[in-house]
Amino acid sequence: MSLVSFSLILSGVLLNAVAQLLLKAGANQLGHFAFTWENLWPIALKICTQWPIPVGLFCYAISVVVWILALSRVPVSQAYPLLSIGYVVNALAAWALLGETLTVSRISGIAIILAGVYLIARS
């Protein structure tokens, strides 16, 4: 895999991870709510006005474009497993930025994922 191809994959994965974290931050700002027909429009408006949510959706859109560029260069059987880097990035960022817990089993899973990504990237 070329450096350009790997960079495209990594950029897509990182954009996807940033999008997920922004959506979580926006959801935290919204708080718990009941999604019913009666409050459909007020909740939709509230969702649209929480800046992390539209920015997160924009990051998702850009990540799709980057992912398509990556798939035009790399076989999907090689590219798709590299998406698991997003699990690692999200777990570490959620721990650092959102105060989520990192247990021994999660850290072990991260190590296994990283080992798998290394093996796939080398093939």
* 75-95: pLDDT as tens digits: 998 888 888 888 889 999 999
- Which residue do the tokens 């649209």 mark? 48
pTM value surpassing 0.85: no
Q: Per residue in 36-61, pLDDT tens?
A: 888 888 888 888 899 999 999 999 99
Amino acid at 13: V
Nearest to 89 by CA among 71, 65, 55, 63: 63
**pLDDT class for 98, splitting at 50, 70, 90?**
confident
Predicted confidence at residue 59, as pLDDT, reads 97
* pLDDT value of position 1: 74
For every residue of the chain, DSSP letters joined together read: --HHHHHHHHHHHHHHHHHHHHHHHHHHHH-S----STTHHHHHHHHHHSTHHHHHHHHHHHHHHHHHHHHTTS-HHHHGGGGGHHHHHHHHHHHHHH-----HHHHHHHHHHHHHHHHHHH-
- The whole-number pLDDT of residue 60 equals 95
- Residue 12, pLDDT above cutoff 90: yes
